[in-house]
Structure formats: C-alpha cells, structure tokens
Copies of this chain bind each other. A is one copy, B any other.
C-alpha cells in the first residue's frame, strides 16, 4: 500500500474505490537535492507528501538570514499553509535537502476530494490539529527554554534528523547561529 494511503488510514478508513480515487488525484515526482519546490513570492498550489528524501521550508529575513520553519522526511506533509489557504503569494521557500520522491496534491484536487470523499475533511482537520499543537509547543519552547534545552529537545524528538541534516539547518530551526550551536555541542560533549 502506498505510504500516503497508510498515512491517511491512520485517521480515517477509505473504501478501495475511495483509495483509487484519492491516488488518481495525486502526482508523484522525483526531485534532486537543492531543487526548489516553492519559491518565496509564489502562490503555493500543492500540499507535498514526502515518500522518501528530505525537504525543508524556510523564509529569508531582510534578504540575509534564513529561518527554517520545518523539515519533512518520509511520511510527512509539508507546504506553505498560509499561501495554500489564501492562494496569495507566500514568503516561504520549500527546498529539497536530500533527493526526494514527493506525492503532490493540488489545491483544486484537494477541494474536489472534500466533495467526493467528505471523510477527508476529517483527515485534514486532524492533520491540521496535530500540526497546530506542534507549532504551539514549539512557540512556547522558544518563549521559555534556553537554546541548550531547545537543542536537547530537538535531539530527542527527531533523532534521525540529527544524522541527516546539517548542523547549520538545525541551528536555524531551533533559532540560534551555527557558531553558537557548535559551541553548545562541544559544551554538552564535555559533560
């Protein structure tokens, strides 16, 4: 069973016909590392589901500093929710960090599916709820934890990403400079 259907059936049950209908609305593509699936200023037309590889979303502040909003690897969804909802130009980039196979669901097909398979409203509601809770926790962590605590939490939460993603990216995700993350790491090792 395709990974994306496994993902959906975690929360709702589809009939074989519905599964086929869903799959027919999905386009799957391969992307090389460093390719951009979405550029800042573009309207986001798709939700992306990662079958393999790694993506990240980030923005760029004052044309200088990058800030990573999210990583997505196998089994994760990613997109620019603001732009996707409003169909206005967003300020996020979505980039491939490691060669990836990505299932793409267009906004139109998604809306169409809501009509043809109303249960999917429930699925995407639950997906969004879970995502919201994660952002909420991350926000509170940024308000209340030190950089070191945030780093330790990241390591526990995403042990596989630590192996795969450069320190620079992780620094950006937890909200410190790469220099400071490097310093923290050696401090933690010395313990």
Contacts and interface: CB of A to CB of B under 8 A. Distances in A.
A69 interface: yes
Size bracket, chain A contacts: 20 to 34
Q: How many copies does the complex hold?
A: 2
A133 B82 contact: yes
Interface string A75-117: 0000001100100000000000000000000000000001000
Given A121-B125, A125-B125, A142-B142, A69 B136 contact: yes
Residues of A contacting B: mostly:
helix
A27 interface: no
Nearest to A131: B132
Contacts of A140: 59, 67, 69
A175 interface: yes
Given A121-B122, A124-B125, A67 B143 contact: yes
Interface in A106-152: 114, 118, 121-122, 124-125, 128-133, 135-140, 142-144
Nearest to A83: B133
Contact of A136 (B81, B143, B175): B81
A122 to B, nearest CB: 5
A15 interface: no
B81 A132 contact: yes
A130 B130 CA distance: 14
B61 A133 contact: no
Given A136-B81, A136-B135, A139-B135, A61 B144 contact: yes
Contact of A114 (B59, B85, B122): B122
